[in-house]
Amino acid sequence: MKHAWLLLHALLPLAAEVLHNGVVVETPWPPRGAALPDATKLPPCLATPPRTIPIDVGRQLFVDDFLIEQTNLSRVFHKPEYHPANPILRPDRPWESETPEQGAGATAMPYSDGVWFDPKDGLFKLWYMCGYGGATCYAESRDGVKWSKPDLDVRRGTNVVIGDPRGSTTVWLDHDEKDPDRRFKFLTPSGGDNENQILRFSRDGIHWSSPVKGDGMSGDRSTFFYNPFRHVWVFSIKTRVAGARARQYRESSDVVAGASWSKDQPVPWAGADRLDPPRADLAVTPQLYNLDATPYESILLGLFAIWRGQPNNRPKPNELHVGYSRDGFHWQRPDRTPFLAPSERRGDWNWGNVQSAGGVLLVAGDKLYFYVSGRAGAAANGSSGVCSTGLATLRRDGFASMRASGSPGVLTTRPLTFTGRHLFVNASAPRGEIRVEALDENGRTLAGYSKERCIPVRGDATMARVRWKDKAALNGLAGRRVRFRFHVSHGDLFSFWVSRETSGASGGYVAAGGPGFAGARDGGGLETR
């Protein structure tokens, strides 16, 4: 009987993995295919959304229709603005002109690398390529705009932290790491188009361990990130499909084990497709040059570096496009215009090759900070010229909004569940207002939570609390299947969430962090009231 039970148990299917948002992870995982997934089609979680969507993790963004049952509002996509102080980090040290590449210009830019806020000492920290293809250097800042390059003891009198020549690298601040000596993680391909992965670890981001070599082979622009929704390290592996640059996917719960893989383990993941328009002046089929990703609130957010051809006498005019994933593998890119574009004016700091930094974005109050590389180019040829670092800012949650610009509009969510009590919205309605009603799963207004009894939200705020007359909180609704119906007049609705705190902490992920966050999440340990 015992053997029969064991046999029966072995034949039973494993319990399906369900994510924080109710999405059921496919089997097998990651999805395997002979070709790249078709990014022009809806991801499975959008084609067949969960019957009920839990919203306890993070702000709920309207970047797609995942949360929406019905609406007559219009979705509007928004772009960051380059900071007027750009470039905020430029090469001005002798060692930033040292380069193994003949003809390259002075360089102080992230080539992914990383920009993070470290709550241990309250500093913005930036790792970057100093000298084109040269060493890795470190800079720090109190406000994320004015940066200093401290004299360190690794190479005395400089801010060099790793002296080895390098190409693309990634630095990741791991708040969940139990070993303090591995708090910072550094990954770089060892060089060339078919090389091993090199890992290093550090307690302070300045003094790094000896290299740990993995035997995963990849292209030179490969990167990695941590996906906390599934507790895995993800390797974004440069490959080529039919001669075009694209990405393969490799995941592991252990970062060292993950840096080694056999040829058939990584799976096709992402590439440019027919919805990526070519440049009118080149008519070249676009390619995916790089993909960096990060957890932001309740989603995984990716910056896709798209290459659309090589003009004469100009650095690659790579541009950044934004994508969203709710399962960590399938991407939705509903807006195919550049999120962060190079300048079209010769000689500007970002005339060529705008690319993302590891960690992707930081949260600084009501704004998101995006740090990017830029290359000014050389007058006589297409080389990179002077390479520096720029900053762009966007409203918090400001990727997309649901807008009522004329007649008042309505948005009704799918059935949701939550454990909090306090409803918040991120909204801009300086000439209008937003009211919310709470409905049961069948669409009936719940007593006390009608539109008429809602105290209207007016003005412009990235965190505004929603109240009803005689009901300041969602009392008795936790754990029930509830829909929200948003009534918007002359305004934009960016996101909503239900917090367990009156402070509005979302419990979501804050990418590379920011002032006021003690770790990877907004409000780590949430109190109940």
Residues 409, 370: one domain? no
* Residues 86, 382: Cα–Cα separation, whole Å: 22
The structure's pTM equals 0.95
Residue 522 is assigned to a structural domain of this protein: no
Sign, CA torsion 34/36/40/43: positive
Residue 520 is assigned to a structural domain of this protein: no
pLDDT, one tens digit for every residue, the chain (529 residues): 334 434 434 443 457 899 999 999 999 999 998 899 888 899 999 999 999 999 999 999 999 999 999 999 999 999 999 999 999 999 999 999 988 776 678 999 999 999 999 999 999 999 999 999 999 999 999 999 999 999 999 999 999 999 999 999 999 999 999 999 999 999 999 876 668 999 999 999 999 999 999 999 999 999 999 999 999 999 999 999 999 999 999 999 999 999 999 999 999 999 999 999 999 989 899 999 999 999 999 999 999 999 999 998 899 999 999 999 999 999 999 999 999 999 999 989 999 999 999 999 999 999 999 999 999 998 777 789 999 999 999 999 999 999 998 889 999 999 999 999 999 999 999 999 999 999 999 999 999 999 999 999 999 999 999 999 999 899 999 999 999 999 999 999 999 999 999 999 999 999 999 999 999 999 954 333 3
* Residues 492, 433: Cα–Cα separation, whole Å: 9
* Residues 425, 32: Cα–Cα separation, whole Å: 38
Angstrom distances, CA of residue 52 to CA of 71, 411, 415: 18, 17, 5
Residue 291, domain CATH: 2.115.10.20
Residues 95, 61: one domain? no
CB 347 within 8 A of CB 376: yes
Residues 371, 458: one domain? no
Tokens representing residue 344 in the block: 């079209």
Residue 31 is assigned to a structural domain of this protein: no
For residue 195, give the DSSP letter: B
Other CB atoms within a 10 A radius of the CB of residue 399 amount to 24
Residues 449, 353: one domain? no
DSSP states of 429-448: EEEEEEEEEEEETTSPBPTT
Q: Which domain holds residue 206?
A: 81-395
Residue 332 is assigned to a structural domain of this protein: yes
Sign, CA torsion 390/396/400/404: negative
Residues 86, 151: one domain? yes
CB 345 within 8 A of CB 351: yes
Block residue for tokens 């705008």: 354
Block residue for tokens 């937003």: 434
Backbone conformation region of residue 261, classed left if phi is above 0, alpha if psi is from -120 to 50, else beta: beta
* Residues 390, 341: Cα–Cα separation, whole Å: 12
Residues 211, 301: one domain? yes
CB 60 within 8 A of CB 414: no
* Residues 491, 410: Cα–Cα separation, whole Å: 11
Residues 87, 205: one domain? yes
Residue 225 is assigned to a structural domain of this protein: yes
Residue 163 is assigned to a structural domain of this protein: yes
* Residues 44, 58: Cα–Cα separation, whole Å: 21
Q: Which of 373, 395, 417 is the last residue of a domain?
A: 395
Per the structure, the count of domains in the chain is 2
Residues 362, 306: one domain? yes
Q: Which residues lie below 8 Å from residue 458, measured CB to CB, with a gap of 6+? A: 429, 430, 432, 433, 434
Look at the chain and count its residues: 529
Residue 287 is assigned to a structural domain of this protein: yes
Backbone conformation region of residue 281, classed left if phi is above 0, alpha if psi is from -120 to 50, else beta: alpha
CB 82 within 8 A of CB 389: no
Residues 375, 478: one domain? no
Residue 142 is assigned to a structural domain of this protein: yes
Other CB atoms within a 10 A radius of the CB of residue 264 amount to 7
Residues 247, 372: one domain? yes
Residue 479, domain CATH: 2.60.120.260
Specify the 3-state DSSP secondary structure of 258: helix
Residues 339, 482: one domain? no
Other CB atoms within a 10 A radius of the CB of residue 505 amount to 22
Residues 463, 335: one domain? no
Q: Which of 395, 420, 443 is the last residue of a domain?
A: 395
Q: Which of 350, 366, 395 is the last residue of a domain?
A: 395
